[in-house]
Amino acid sequence: MTIFKKIIDHEIPADIVYEDDQCLAFRDISPQAPTHILVIPKKEITAVDALTEEDQMLVGHIFLVIQKIAKDEGLTDGFRVVTNNGQNACQTVPHLHFHLLGGRPFGWPPG
């Protein structure tokens, strides 16, 4: 069981900013920007490369939730959405998650 599953099940505390029947969003405990929120599906999917065709609606829903959270957080000057896939991309929790980052300028290319 991952730490994200424990957060989904409310077994450990998190600063939850959004929750519905499909996903949950909470503030990162080690923020890399003034706004750093993780958005995760409640369905246990390990990574982007584990997505299936049946997950299309779920991922679309998550991106609409990200849009809503960004608006609610006042990220009017832009924001970044990052998803790491696998160890070489620094994915540290084997549960699909999207980092919503904002509140400061970002450089390119990342990492």
- Distances from the Cα of 5 to the Cα of 25, 43, 46, 67, 95, angstroms: 12, 9, 11, 23, 8
Give catalytic residues, as residue numbers.
97
Two structure tokens written together for 102: 């904002």
Q: Using CA atoms, how far apart are residues 68 and 89, in angstroms rounded to an integer? A: 27
Q: Which residue has the tokens 């998650």?
A: 97
